[in-house]
Amino acid sequence: MRKVEYQDLGQIDYQKAWDYQQSLLKQVVDTKVANRRLAKANQPVGPNPENFLLFCEHPPVYTLGKSGSMEHLLLNTQELDERSIQFHKINRGGDITFHGPGQVVGYPIFDLDQFFTDVHKYVRFLEEVIIRTLADFEITGTRIKGFTGVWLKGETGMPNRKICAIGVHLSRWVTMHGFAFNVNTDLNFFNFIIPCGINDTNKTVTSLAKELGTSVDIEYVKRQLKFHFSSLFEFTYE
C-alpha cells in the first residue's frame, strides 16, 4: 500500500508555502533520478520517493497561473497594499484565484509514477475528493465541461457556483500546487478579480458556509478530505 505523509501547515505565508512545496518536489525528483541511475547501472535501488499531502490556509493573496491574464486582477499595486492583499505570479495551470483565511488549500506532492501517469485523471481525482466531501454535507458537487474545479449547479434563476478551484504543476510526474476549497471564506475578495478568468454572470463563486447558512468546523472538513484522499488514491498515512 502506498504511503503519504500528511502535514497541516496552519496559516502560512503563500511564498513560504510555495518554497516549501518546491523543496519537497526537488527531494522527490532527486530520489527518482538517483534510483533510475542505479537501475541503469544494475545497482540496487533505494526505496520509492516519499509522497506528501499538505493542508494550509493563507493570508489574503491572489495568484495568477501561467496561462492567466493580468487584466483579470482589478486592483493596482497601491490598492492591493491598502487592503493588505499579496499577489504572486506562479507556475501552475489556470488563471487568477484567491486564497485566504477560512479556505482549505491542499498541496499534494505525489509521485504519480507510484499512482498513475495521467494528468487528466489526476485532476479528476482531485475534483472527486471535493465532490465526496461535499456529499458528507448533503451538497451535490459537480463538474462543468470545459471548466476545471468543482461547482454547484444553479437551479431555476440561480447561477452555477464554483466552490473549489484547482490548478496543478508537474515535474517528472511529481505534482505540486493543488486545490483551494472555500469553506468559511470571505467571498468579497473575489469581487476584485475575474475568478479563474471566467467573466460570466451565470458562473459565480460560493463557499460551504454560504451554502449551509452557517460557519463550518474546518477541522472536520480536513478530516473528511484526508479520508477521501486516502480512499480514492488508495494510500495510507505515515
Q: How far apart are CA 122 and CA 125, in angstroms?
A: 5
Through-space distance between the first and last CA atoms of the chain, rounded to whole angstroms:
11
Task: Name the phi and psi angles at 135, rounded to 5.
Answer: -60, -30
Q: What distance in Å separates the CA atoms of residue 133 and residue 136, rounded to the nearest whole number?
A: 5
Cβ–Cβ under 8 Å, residues 62 and 97: yes
Active-site residue identified among 174, 196, 209, 218: 196
Beta strands 142-144 and 147-152: pairing type? antiparallel
**Residues whose CB is less than 8 angstroms from the CB of residue 129 and which lie 6 or more positions away in sequence, other chains included:** 179, 225, 228, 229, 232
In the annotation, is 164 catalytic?
no
**Active centre residues (catalytic):** 196
